Structure 1
């Protein structure tokens, strides 16, 4: 199949959406399909990622910084006008839209121009996110706007891919009636067969016997990392040498560093920024005696699956998409969303080498359920159904038949 993917975000911008898109595109290309991704140009850093992908085509469009979210980019309107005729002349079996901004508009226009089907992945729970980026606006108004925008956008495409059943329930509450399929983003398990925790500890001066917990996340308010700092503070009485490794970057980084200092955690918390997903990030995961996560707004929570695949014991809350990932998982301890309970569960894991070994051994087994192989076959089947439906003759109405006669 010839698949066009459109997105307002992609690497080098690191987040779950970028990871999901790359997983989809690489997996589909390895299955023999032709994939083209249209995404913003982030400047000099974009070229390396384009070179690294190799397996699928990437078209970068000129973009500008968004004033309230400088990590992201807004594709410039002249670039959209330039690229649309070029894309319209090419053959596509399906147009897959990944974000609800200018990429969405381009996809809808191309679909109208070419008659090709559109599928859109609902990656982000915008109702819960938008207030963090526009804090000066009234929260109820922002939530109402996010719900209305979601209805408009979702009703403009032929089909939705939703990562979890919990998000389907959210969209149902919004009144969205576009057909949807629950298809989580999987991971390529072969990419998570490596990683050397001892090397990471040695390189960064973390003693082999020092109790260490890790989180991997975009540093944004909605990820609830401030909660995890409170958990770390609560544990210092029993584990004074505790090390909390935080991998990731984001707009909340400076506030979190300030909170760590204010809570006397300078010796116990280290911020490592974005690490290379093929090398040092895998090492960082495996350096942990436990992986911790507490975001309440995830549509899925890919980092939990990555931790499972690497055999890192997990302590996490289970809310929204993370509840789906952790349901029945034998590699995780699920905690309530309060500091005392979470700290208690994490302390139990840190105290017990036997429990950690048990959770670690179960991780790769749990991760198999999220392998890309079976999930991508379902994606291709969906694409084929949509393409076939668009190829069928349109039923002729009684009025049209009378005019034709």
Structure 2
């Protein structure tokens, strides 16, 4: 039985700043919605509480999810608190998505409710790009000192090793932290119509806000046009920077090379990604870089700076390239386009991108988040703490069993929900979280495993799970399954 199966008939609240219908919805909303849909399909009763925007209804049902809206951009926090207080006994668990500032759900739920905080990326440095003093300082205190106190001891979910590092180093969280990465677009969107452009083309998908630094791409275009006069740049997305970016393009005299598409459908976005040679993500930081995987899904590599989140989503030489944070973007794009200058090079890169993207799925991500929820529900009901410490070490162990069926039964019953395992005949690979080599040996003794290879897991092992740990980007079965 999967963790999703165990959530059948439970009542869960998802708290997110926006819902997917919001005009400013982005990757965080896609993450929340894709996982909520899968929880609902597994039989859980899901309520998504988010802010109300112009033209939206206060309540509706979509894809088996009850969507409740209240408050505006900042009023949503008070509205969500009031909703939790009114429905104090309605939810078994609350999944609180932190978009800079969390909803502080533990303050408004009883002690028998599991509260899980999901962090996409740390905003400590980004508050200055959106607010002036004193609001920028207030935001930093709420995200750091207040959040650390309110969520003390509760499980935290992050989307990448970079976010885990930032949550530890910048926010000072000592909580158990679990990595649940983003998935990839639906299969129906992975083979759009049309052909790869015969001439250099860039597709950029981004919210048009200061921290995304889309202006750097526009400023690089004049130099690129001297090398490739036929270069085309398709820019998809909207936001408060849209008008100033259009004026910048006009001032640079690159209007004929750059097309502003505004908001586009998922189908159109994937079609434009498929046409491009390259996507560019010049953000100052990301939690993960969903646009990278969306582009990789149709065989398009990505170029970005070596910053948090993007350094996890991109493996140089596999699905794209990383630049030093102070590197010249025009020079970096030129180098990448040179590497993609032949059809053979673009075809080989596309194969690598496909393989990397195939290692991620929303089904696997939903199961991994469900494991965290189930494990915390069990902890609350048993009134006990885990024997493992809240550290970020993970261990990959490989062994063979003379009685694999018996070992599989032992693995199913002895491991934590958030551990991952994979069986191939009589060979097992197990990924133990919050565990060092000594504790791994103790766990293996409980499984009656006498001999095993044990190694500390790296960031990509944790992202990909037990089925792919140590095997590179090749696709494989989901964790906890048998082949």
TM band (smaller chain): 0.7 to 0.9
* Alpha-carbon displacement from aligned partner over 1:204-236 (angstroms, at most 9, x marks no partner): xxxx64532101010111112111112222110
What does residue 291 of structure 2 align with?
Answer: 303
The answer to whether the aligner puts 1:178 opposite 2:175 as a matched pair is yes
1:33 is displaced (CA, Å) by 2.9
What does residue 97 of structure 2 align with?
Answer: 98
Is the 8 Å Cα contact of residues 128 and 297 (structure 1) preserved in structure 2? Answer: no
Which of 42, 50, 65 is matched with 1:39 structurally?
A: 50
> Which has the larger displacement, 176-185 or 381-390?
176-185
Is the 8 Å Cα contact of residues 291 and 312 (structure 1) preserved in structure 2? Answer: yes
Is the 8 Å Cα contact of residues 289 and 310 (structure 2) preserved in structure 1? Answer: yes
1:145 is displaced (CA, Å) by 5.5
1:37 is displaced (CA, Å) by 0.8
The answer to whether the aligner puts 1:17 opposite 2:28 as a matched pair is yes
Partner-residue secondary structure (3-state), 2:228: coil
Over 3 Å counting, the alpha-carbon distance change for 1:82 and 1:299 in structure 2 is: closer
User: Which has the bigger relative contact order, CA under 8 A and spacing at least 6?
Assistant: 1
* Alpha-carbon displacement from aligned partner over 1:116-153 (angstroms, at most 9, x marks no partner): 0111111232123211112x438xx9469516632321
What does residue 75 of structure 1 align with?
Answer: 76
* Alpha-carbon displacement from aligned partner over 1:308-354 (angstroms, at most 9, x marks no partner): 11212323333110111113662213333422431322331453222
Partner-residue secondary structure (3-state), 1:5: strand
Is the 8 Å Cα contact of residues 210 and 241 (structure 1) preserved in structure 2? Answer: yes
**C-alpha RMSD of the superposition:** 2.8
What does residue 285 of structure 1 align with?
Answer: 273
What does residue 195 of structure 1 align with?
Answer: 192
Is the 8 Å Cα contact of residues 96 and 102 (structure 2) preserved in structure 1? Answer: yes
What does residue 68 of structure 1 align with?
Answer: none
1:29 is displaced (CA, Å) by 2.4
The answer to whether the aligner puts 1:162 opposite 2:158 as a matched pair is yes
What does residue 369 of structure 1 align with?
Answer: 359
Q: Distance in 2 between matches of 1:358 and 1:281?
A: 22
1:182 is displaced (CA, Å) by 1.8
Is the 8 Å Cα contact of residues 287 and 309 (structure 2) preserved in structure 1? Answer: yes
Q: Which runs of 5+ in 1 are unaligned?
A: 65-71, 202-207, 396-405
Partner-residue secondary structure (3-state), 2:336: helix
Partner-residue secondary structure (3-state), 1:127: coil
1:304 is displaced (CA, Å) by 0.4
Q: Distance in 1 between matches of 2:184 and 2:64?
A: 16
What does residue 261 of structure 2 align with?
Answer: 272
What does residue 346 of structure 1 align with?
Answer: 336
What does residue 227 of structure 2 align with?
Answer: 238
* Alpha-carbon displacement from aligned partner over 1:84-136 (angstroms, at most 9, x marks no partner): 3442232x33210003688614x22332x3620111111232123211112x4
Is the 8 Å Cα contact of residues 8 and 102 (structure 1) preserved in structure 2? Answer: no
Which of 59, 67, 72 is matched with 2:68 structurally?
A: 59
Is the 8 Å Cα contact of residues 196 and 287 (structure 1) preserved in structure 2? Answer: no
Q: Distance in 2 between matches of 1:314 and 1:388?
A: 41
TM-score (norm 1): 0.82
Is the 8 Å Cα contact of residues 154 and 160 (structure 1) preserved in structure 2? Answer: no
Partner-residue secondary structure (3-state), 1:357: helix
Is the 8 Å Cα contact of residues 127 and 143 (structure 1) preserved in structure 2? Answer: no
Over 3 Å counting, the alpha-carbon distance change for 1:55 and 1:293 in structure 2 is: same
Q: Distance in 1 between matches of 2:323 and 2:77?
A: 44
Over 3 Å counting, the alpha-carbon distance change for 1:242 and 1:224 in structure 2 is: same
Alignment of 1:125-136 (within 5 A): 125-134=122-131, 136=132
Alignment of 1:372-391 (within 5 A): 372-391=362-381
Is the 8 Å Cα contact of residues 101 and 142 (structure 2) preserved in structure 1? Answer: no
Q: Which runs of 5+ in 2 are unaligned?
A: 1-6, 386-483
Q: Distance in 2 between matches of 1:394 and 1:344?
A: 56
Is the 8 Å Cα contact of residues 49 and 80 (structure 2) preserved in structure 1? Answer: no
Q: Distance in 2 between matches of 1:352 and 1:137?
A: 51
What does residue 300 of structure 2 align with?
Answer: 312
What does residue 202 of structure 2 align with?
Answer: 213
Is the 8 Å Cα contact of residues 294 and 317 (structure 1) preserved in structure 2? Answer: yes
What does residue 110 of structure 1 align with?
Answer: 108
The answer to whether the aligner puts 1:124 opposite 2:102 as a matched pair is no
The answer to whether the aligner puts 1:223 opposite 2:212 as a matched pair is yes
What does residue 314 of structure 2 align with?
Answer: 326
> Which has the larger displacement, 217-226 or 376-385?
376-385
Q: Distance in 2 between matches of 1:196 and 1:320?
A: 33
Is the 8 Å Cα contact of residues 232 and 343 (structure 1) preserved in structure 2? Answer: no
Q: Distance in 1 between matches of 2:101 and 2:122?
A: 18
Structure in which a larger fraction of residues adopt helix: 1
Partner-residue secondary structure (3-state), 2:98: coil
Over 3 Å counting, the alpha-carbon distance change for 1:383 and 1:44 in structure 2 is: same
Q: Distance in 1 between matches of 2:328 and 2:49?
A: 41
The answer to whether the aligner puts 1:5 opposite 2:1 as a matched pair is no
